[in-house]
Structure 1
Amino acid sequence: MSARYPLSSCIEWQFTEAGDLDARLRAASAAGLELAEFHLWRDKPVDALSKALAETGMRLTGVCVDPRRSIVDPAEREEMVAAVRDTIAATQQLGKPDLIVASGFRIEGLSEEEHFSNAVAALRAAADVAEEAGVTLLLEPLNTRLFAAMYLVSTKLGLDLVEAVNSPNLRLLYDVWHSAVMGESMAEVLAGRIHLVAHVQMADMDDRHEPGTGSIDWATVMQTLQDLGYSGAIGLEYFPTLPMEQSLALTRQKLGC
């Protein structure tokens, strides 16, 4: 029997019928959820979200560092670290959620070793800022279907970067859908390194909808997480095809949560 993991709704894409993001947060709470996440914050009603969090008791599991800047381009390193500082300051009133970092795109003419060393330097500088503030950064590998030139599209590479930086304030965000798009074996890429993963997100193949609408074997996914020893939350980063109440019910059934 799989463990019952807490679920975190991506209110960027879910409960949209409720209205603005703070209203979606309240709708998620009314649906029985205690966790939520969203993407960029600069265009969001941060004060209203803070009030909704206080009134519902909801907690945010993740917000993206905004603006997004490259970790592999030295010319953007200062801006990347500044974006981390700004996001930490802006999200203090939101309960100091984990902050999601994407890699940026490959740079023509740079070797793999140069990409890696540049990324480590940027992430180490950002992790120092996060450590001082008591915040965790989540490095997220994406996929080449959506982002053909993205640097970080491999779970193994992401974990290698986290290990190289060696900071307790930098961990990996593992997305089942991105990983499946890249043809990875979840059990293989996470074996022995689940302690470096602080958050897991999910959507079904092929079209990034709720679990139960595609080809992923969710019983195996959930059992694998349990066998590996994952103890965090499950982020529902999918586009619902059903009214959200039905979508959530199907998701709970498939995930056993």
Structure 2
Amino acid sequence: MPRFSANLGFLFTEAPEIDRVAAAAEAGFKAVEMHWPYHVPAADMRRALTRSQVTMLGLNTPVGNAATGDFGLGALPGRESEFQQAVDQAVTYGHAIGATAVHCMSGIVATDSLSAAERTFVDNLKLAADKAAQAGMTVLLEPINHRDKPGYFLHRIEQAASIIDQVGRQNVKIMFDCYHTQIMQGDLTRRLKDYLDLIGHVQIAAVPSRAEPDEGEIDYRTIGRFLDSLGYGGWIGAEYKPRGRTEDGLGWLASWTQDLPSSARGAVA
């Protein structure tokens, strides 16, 4: 039975970030996730989550210097200290607000630096995973497609699995974003099955539009039923860019709920 979380980096953006928690709760979500909420004081975010009785699943490490093109630091040789500072910030903030995971972003790497980048990422993740473990948190690795983010180092599920094997920490998992994976590789159900034990979180959005998951080339009802058949017990993150006002586009969630037995409807979101 699917459980959906709302990604507040994309959803309910009509409201200030702190108010999106309540908006998600009012829409029926029992969990949320965020990208970079660091400008909101942790104590304020924690109160908002507690008041709305919503679980915070995860957040991203800071990207670095976005003005110069940074989109993560984990696989960038020579910037290890900056990455560990980003991890420290994410873990400290995440622990303070009760988050369960931190997505460690690898960054954009030149094609002639891939071997060095992989070694750097593996070494960085060993330290990051140990820091996250002390806070009771999981480290998530998300392959991101090269159409949206050319040159992003981590871009395939198999690559993520190999890196996890090299890191050798039990609290490092894959964030399986169906949108990114469909664009880069396809064959979603086979990869979900093959890497189920390594998957810590799933995200969804329409392909190619990245809008609500009720259009495009992926049948998410089939994906949801398949995850159920595999026994996946985690959350499915709604990380899409709404076609309009977020609340007006939640018909996909209501429709999914209506298809469930009445005894299960309260547990969908």
Do they superpose with TM above 0.5? Answer: yes
| 1:137 maps to amino acid | V
Alignment equivalent of 2:20, drawn from 15, 21, 24: 24
CA offsets, 1:73-111, max 9 Å, x none? 23111211221112211222211331111211123533x
Check whether the contact 1:72–1:107 (CA below 8 A) recurs between aligned residues: no
| Mapped partners of 1:196, 1:80: distance in 2 | 23
132 and 205 in structure 1: CA distance in 2 versus 1, 3 angstrom threshold: same
Aligned to 1:86: 89
TM-score between both structures, scaled by the size of structure 1: 0.90
Matched, 1:49 2:45: yes
CA offsets, 1:181-218, max 9 Å, x none? 11321123233321111110100111101111222112
1:154-165 to structure 2, matched below 5 A, reads 154-165=156-167
Check whether the contact 1:218–1:254 (CA below 8 A) recurs between aligned residues: no
1:48-87 to structure 2, matched below 5 A, reads 48-68=44-64, 69-87=72-90
Shift of 1:254: 4.9
Aligned to 2:155: 153
Structure 1 counterpart SS, 2:112: coil
Structure 2 counterpart SS, 1:75: coil
Check whether the contact 2:58–2:94 (CA below 8 A) recurs between aligned residues: no
Shift of 1:21: 1.4
Shift of 1:114: 3.3
Check whether the contact 2:2–2:224 (CA below 8 A) recurs between aligned residues: no
TM-score between both structures, scaled by the size of structure 2: 0.86
Q: 4+ residue runs of structure 1 moved beyond 6 angstroms?
A: none
Task: Give unmatched runs, 5+ long, in structure 2.
Answer: 65-71, 260-267
1:95-244 to structure 2, matched below 5 A, reads 95-110=98-113, 112-244=114-246
1:246-257 to structure 2, matched below 5 A, reads 246-254=248-256, 257=268
RMSD of aligned alpha carbons: 1.9
Aligned to 2:67: none
Check whether the contact 1:211–1:254 (CA below 8 A) recurs between aligned residues: no
Shift of 1:26: 0.6
Check whether the contact 2:58–2:99 (CA below 8 A) recurs between aligned residues: no
| Mapped partners of 1:208, 1:45: distance in 2 | 30
| Mapped partners of 2:197, 2:165: distance in 1 | 11
| 2:5 maps to amino acid | S
Percent of aligned pairs with the same residue? 27
Alignment equivalent of 1:33, drawn from 4, 29, 33: 29
Question: Which of 172-181 and 83-92 deviates more?
Answer: 83-92
Check whether the contact 2:161–2:198 (CA below 8 A) recurs between aligned residues: yes
